[in-house]
A and B are shown apart, each in its own frame.
Chain A
């Protein structure tokens, strides 16, 4: 098993983020930043993290990953992360909704309970308003679940466009803010109701244009009061109260004294608490849970997370591709040209050139230039045989002119250079060696090797002592045009 030991990651400086929304946004921001990084670097970095987690048995989730990446970052206390600023922005929005809800709650309830002593406060209106509140609360939650955003253009005008990762969360976040505002509205309205009950003498009654009997109305109020009937029976209006507090557009109800008009307040308070405050509270909690759940789901489905897991699970393979000497190439320029062969020359064969294979036969044109037998040097010959050949060619005091056959495909080596250096030292001044690189295949008319194979030989001749070595061209010497 391939493992790598590394220092235990220090998590003391950075707290592990727990909030899914902040985690999602921080994770997304990191993935966006990583878009600029080389994939090799990211692979090494994340694999290293995974190995550390494995070694120390610590979790390798996105929260720990972010903490690991930010462990050298001291600026977190001064600068808010992407997740923090998103949270702060939504906190401001939530607070705005709460404040607005609180003010509207007071105004609305004060309006509903407006009583100048001349008329009674219609309980039917309050029940209708409660039903409207309930409906709005449910619609708010429903549109967030459906992902419908009717307020989106309005929000766009005041807020920068959210990052793509946050876009699917917008409905849930907005619903959470709206439910928060609604809850604040409901609570302040309830408090206003209670305050008004305390400080004012309110007269409640009920009225409707519809032809409804008091018993029918009583059934409605009893049904509405079912949730708290066992808890506070006094808050459930009895039939007598219902009958006593009905008022008509014309005429007066004379069955009961006005003393009973105030007895509706426990019902109204409980009605508001149970059918407005509690649903808002529950839906607010549900909206919060939905934000958390969706943020977690988005994080799990984040394309960056899959890529991160893959990087963490895949060992880093370094094939040794880091070394770069591509530009460290030898100088391949040369100023040497092929020279015509001499009229007469002594023949040398280097490393079996011209004698080795059946396919490779000596060009006939050479027979006229070199009538004598070829001396084998290099290759299978020993170093002493090389020395003997050098000595044998310089028996006379005349300058030596030698034609050395070489295999064009076997590049010149240090041994050939040694041989030529030794020959130059032993032979009289004015001696000369013509290298003749032969091609592997016999060609008609006979030519020397291809241009590509000749280049190293021309450069080799340049490196040899000046004037001593040249590269011969058989095509020129036989009067044939080069192919």
Chain B
């Protein structure tokens, strides 16, 4: 098999070369700073599938002395045919020379056969002053593509596009921080267009990346489903010695309840944080700094407060509707047992009970209560939880989807902390009625401490995938 293509990302200092590489290699641990010379050595980022390299991106330092290099090249070249060899000779001649270390670093991959990805900043005015470095790149004779990245808010992309078209085979616009995933794939495919032999590996690679993204979504849904079930059914227990249990005055009970409640909250927060970490790890955002309201009872935007419930929870009408559906399915069981003799009254009764229960609880988010179990082997067990209301599940789910959406849509060039705010609209509207019923039943089942079998888990996972889509549509619509 022919050698996998290599693409050297080159350009003037501080134009976002490392940002491009960080986004395309999904690496948020590449040093990026608004300081020229942050990248001092070139570094290769191969994309490997089962250990086989499909292509390699090389991040390089920027040009420091292009006019001096060009003068050297012109002084040592006789005709156009020896230009590539002259560039190679320049690197050989100046390797180890601190004055040209950046140029040697960036030209070395090119003389070894890499394609050129020339990066400019489309948010600053075009200037013909970079002609020297573009001429050097042309001398290498390598296939080339110019990439207009945008670091700032201004847009001079069209001027750049017209100017770069004279020097490069292909000119593309690509915002390393904001470009959606589909554009990443499209750009990689464009890399493959530079040379016929590169088309196949880049097509294969983009296929793998696309599948990886779908699998990540599925995996994220499983993680969210598991967390949801665990948090809904979590009970914090403590064993009490007989004498303590017997002497438990109401004051002692209050203290006990307070201690158990504290531990229960702490566990729920930790579990939610664990999910956040798992999702970020899944999307290779190991360095991500997150700004999210810490979970505190009765403070703004927290998991348990009224605000959170109103923002992420569901309204009474929705809950009553979902409750009706879930209750009705339970009621159908009654019909089945009576061999249909009840003529569907089972479903009706079940529906009404379900809706009434949901409506009643839908108005508030009650706290779990302290329960002290019967004496057994000289020990009593005090327990706190599980949460008595499915609203809790909708709050956790809404927050989890919000985090997932931002993480999955975040490019690895982004270095700003991820701020997770709240919203005033509701995404659940996009979820179908059967999905709502499955979701509601799963939350109810988890709340009652019933273990979910693999079929339940699978169904919930599917609903969460649908919820992700609904959330995505809702987010895109609100943008």
Query: Which residues of A are interface residues toward B (Cβ below 8 A)?
Result: 2-4, 38-39, 47, 51, 164, 301-303, 306, 310, 314-330, 332, 351-352, 356-357, 359-360, 378-380, 382-383, 407, 409-415, 418, 440-441, 452, 455-456, 459
Contacts and interface: CB of A to CB of B under 8 A. Distances in A.
Which 10 pairs from chain A and chain B are nearest by CB? A320-B45, A414-B64, A379-B129, A411-B36, A324-B29, A320-B25, A321-B27, A409-B124, A351-B129, A318-B48
Interface stretch (B280-288, B313-321, B400-408): B280-288
B462 interface: no
A351 B219 CA distance: 52
Interface residues of B, number: 64
Nearest to B282: A39
B427 to A, nearest CB: 27
A379 B208 CA distance: 43
A356 B412 CA distance: 35
**Which of the listed residues B44, B62, B127, B204 has the most CB atoms from chain A within 10 Å of its own CB?**
B127
B179 interface: no
B72 to A, nearest CB: 10
Contact of B68 (A359, A418, A440): A418
A133 B213 CA distance: 61
Contacts of A321: 25-29, 284, 412
A319 B25 contact: yes
Contacts of A325: 29-31, 43
B417 interface: no
B38 interface: yes
B43 A2 contact: no
B47 A318 contact: yes
25 contacts: A2-B52, A4-B51, A4-B52, A39-B219, A301-B454, A314-B215, A315-B49, A316-B51, A318-B48, A319-B24, A319-B26, A319-B209, A320-B47, A321-B412, A323-B29, A323-B45, A326-B287, A329-B31, A330-B33, A330-B37, A332-B35, A352-B129, A382-B71, A383-B68, A407-B127
B128 interface: yes
A326 B49 contact: no
Contact of A413 (B63, B125, B287, B453): B63
B45 A326 contact: no
A415 B65 contact: yes
A321 B57 CA distance: 12
A397 B216 CA distance: 71
Contact of A319 (B47, B51, B451): B47
Interface in B164-215: 204, 208-209, 211-212, 215
Nearest to B152: A409
Contact of B50 (A164, A315, A440): A315
Contacts of A357: 125, 127
B13 A47 contact: no
Contacts of B13: 411, 413
B457 interface: yes
A410 B12 contact: yes
Given A317-B47, A415-B67, A456-B34, A164 B457 contact: no
A456 B35 CA distance: 6
A268 B425 CA distance: 81
Contacts of B272: none
B112 interface: no
A2 B50 contact: yes
Contact of B99 (A327, A352, A414): A414
Contacts of B302: none
A3 B51 CA distance: 8
A169 to B, nearest CB: 14
Given A316-B49, A319-B24, A325-B29, 16 more contacts: A39-B282, A319-B284, A320-B25, A323-B29, A326-B31, A351-B127, A352-B127, A356-B129, A357-B125, A378-B129, A380-B129, A409-B125, A411-B35, A413-B64, A415-B64, A415-B67
A330 to B, nearest CB: 5
Contacts of B412: 321
A410 B281 contact: no
B177 to A, nearest CB: 16
Contacts of A164: 451
Contact of B454 (A303, A332, A409, A410): A303
Contact of A452 (B34, B67, B99, B208): B34
A456 B451 CA distance: 60
Contacts of A314: 211, 215
Nearest to A412: B36
B31 A328 contact: yes
B283 to A, nearest CB: 10
B65 A39 contact: no
B67 A3 contact: no
B105 interface: no
Contacts of B35: 329-330, 332, 411, 455-456, 459
A414 B65 contact: yes
Contact of A411 (B14, B50, B65): B14
A418 B68 CA distance: 10
A246 B124 CA distance: 117
Contacts of A352: 127-129
A483 to B, nearest CB: 17
B363 interface: no
Nearest to B156: A440
A3 B127 CA distance: 48
A441 B211 CA distance: 44
A216 B429 CA distance: 75
B46 interface: yes
Contacts of A411: 13-14, 35-36
B27 A319 contact: yes
Nearest to B26: A319
Nearest to B31: A325
